Amino acid sequence: MDVGEMGRFARTLRGQLILPEDPNYDEARALWNGMIDRRPALVARCAGTADVIACVDFARRQDLALSVRGGGHSVAGKAACDDGLMVDLSHIRDVHVDAKARVARVGGGATWGTVDHETQAFGLVVTGGVDSRTGVGGLTLGGGVGYLARALGLTIDSLLSAEVVLADGSTVTASATAHPDLFWALRGGGGGFGIVTTFEFRLHAVGPEVMTAQVFHAMDGAAEALAFYRDFMSTAPDEAACYPLFVNVPPVDPFPPQHHGKTALVFVGCHAGSLKDGEEALRPLGTFGAPFFSAIAPMPYAALQQSFDAAAPDGGRFYWKAHYLEELSDALIETLVARVDALPGPYSNVFVECLGGAVARVAPEATAFPHRDVRFSLGISTGWADAADDEAAIAWTRSLFEATAPYASGGVYVNYLDRDEEDRVGAAYGANLPRLENVRRAYDPDGVFTREEAPTALA
């Protein structure tokens, strides 16, 4: 790297350029997943779009690998690259809400917690994930699944436009009428087309309170509870979402002491309609079987989004695997119940995500996200604290993944792919992959965002 060029680059930035010898370098490169230990040659904390343009120009001239940090929450560590330039967008995080027009303009480095804080002041929302620390950029560019997806569609289904810095340093606004191919690719294509500095979303009236459910079952009733869940979701209204998760019961009130630290099945539900309709729709979750804890109650939507943040703390060690499922068969349920007790590590969970509803009402070719007809997603989210447990925890995850593979549809959500799953990219995009590759070549013919050394362009 040319030292003189680096100095000139640093002087063009309004933000901060951080080098390996700087005292805050380790903090600047650290990501949510503590297993990721990549060492960029430079970290640029951008203060605005002009800084992002300068980063792209410098990386192109110096032939540097380039990665982009939004929330830094990708399990695969996509935000960091070795020996290249990490473009940190975390200071480009302003959220402006036009409540009358029901539109929000969101900085590319914002997290969903920031978005929820601003939009919920007006009783408005856009589909986010299920963790308030998740970056808007990474979630959106992969598709965007969360509690509200069945009611409102994926995050990308509410995307109106995106301001994008391209590989040649130019800036465009992509929408349905301007750069429509790029706009198509940004909606679920996972990145590699440019750096999005601003997202514009259509907002929807939900909250600030929503009806929620948290219902815990001991493992001896888990199989029957999952079978009930399968039937419950087959007739549930689109406004209702419910995630079954196998978790370690926290050793705190209000959970009975005899269940502390043991694996249990918990239903986490949410209803996007009125509180009255939500209580009626979610009530069966609390009345089925013999749960050892049950709460069907209103909760601020923003609080619901934060309620599981502590269960996956920053710096923990995480490894994921996932499948799409056509159904929750009895055989799959039996396999899960037999293998998840006990979970390895205090931050582990195995979850089922029910899709359908508004997600399925969009054609597979309308956006880059192709899996519109998928009914369920199975996620194996293993988390632990001690590096000495890495080998055992990863082996457990892979074993459960292989045991459940016979029940999978073959597809996968791109945001659930871990760093060793490049061979599954085709499964993530299906028939949309050739068009995605064409768009990538058109907007980044020289591979500025897809250098081999870079894990991905956007995270």
Residue-wise pLDDT tens digits, 78-105: 999 999 999 999 999 999 999 999 999 9
| pLDDT-based confidence at residue 3 (cuts at 50, 70, 90) | confident
pLDDT for position 333: 98
**What would the two tokens of residue 142 be?**
């992969």
Q: Where are the domains of the chain?
A: 3-88, 95-206, 209-416
Q: Tell me, what's the pLDDT at 429?
A: 97
Percentage of the chain surpassing pLDDT 90?
Answer: 95
Q: What is the pLDDT of residues 208-262, one digit of tens each?
A: 999 999 999 999 999 999 999 999 999 999 999 999 999 999 999 999 999 999 9
Q: Tell me whether the CATH fold assigned to 3-88 matches the one assigned to 95-206.
A: no
Split at pLDDT 50, 70, 90, the class of 358 is: very high
To the question of domain 3-88 being in CATH 3.40.50.2000, the answer is: no
> Phi/psi of residue 405, each to 5°?
-60, -35
Write down the pLDDT at residue 315. 96
The mean pLDDT of the chain is: 95
Q: Does 456 score more than 70 pLDDT? A: no
Interior CA angle at 145 toward 189 and 285, to 5°? 160
Residue 91 neighbours by CB distance under 10 Å: 16
Q: Reply yes or no on whether the pLDDT at 455 is more than 70.
A: no
CA separation for the pair 372, 12 (Å, rounded) = 44
The phi and psi torsions of 76 (rounded to 5 degrees) equal: -80, -5
User: Residue 186 burial by CB count (10 A; 0-12/13-18/19+): exposed, middle or buried?
Assistant: buried
pLDDT, tens digit (0-9, with 9 covering 90-100), for 407-451? 999 999 999 999 999 999 999 999 999 999 999 999 999 999 987
- Residue 453's pLDDT is 43
Q: Say what the pLDDT of residue 2 is.
A: 75
Query: pLDDT digits over 159-200, tens only?
Result: 999 999 999 999 999 999 999 999 999 999 998 899 999 999
Q: How confident is the model at residue 459 (pLDDT cuts 50, 70, 90)?
A: very low
Before 342, cis peptide (omega within 30)? Answer: yes
In this structure, are residues 151 and 357 in contact, taking their beta carbons and an 8 Å threshold?
Answer: yes
Cα 80 from Cα 195, distance rounded (Å): 14
| Per CATH, domain 209-416 is 3.40.462.20 | yes
Domain 95-206 sits in CATH at 3.30.465.10
7 pLDDT more than 60? yes
Give me the phi and psi of 123, to 5 degrees please. Answer: 65, 35
- According to the model, what pLDDT value does residue 220 have? 97
pLDDT digits (tens, 9 = 90+) for 365-390: 999 999 999 999 999 999 999 999 99
The bridge status of strand 66-69 relative to strand 85-88 is: parallel
CB atoms within 10 A of CB 387: 10
Residue 6 pLDDT class (50, 70, 90 cuts): confident
Q: Is the pLDDT of residue 454 over 50?
A: no
pLDDT tens digits along 16-71: 999 999 999 999 999 999 999 999 999 999 999 999 999 999 999 999 999 999 99
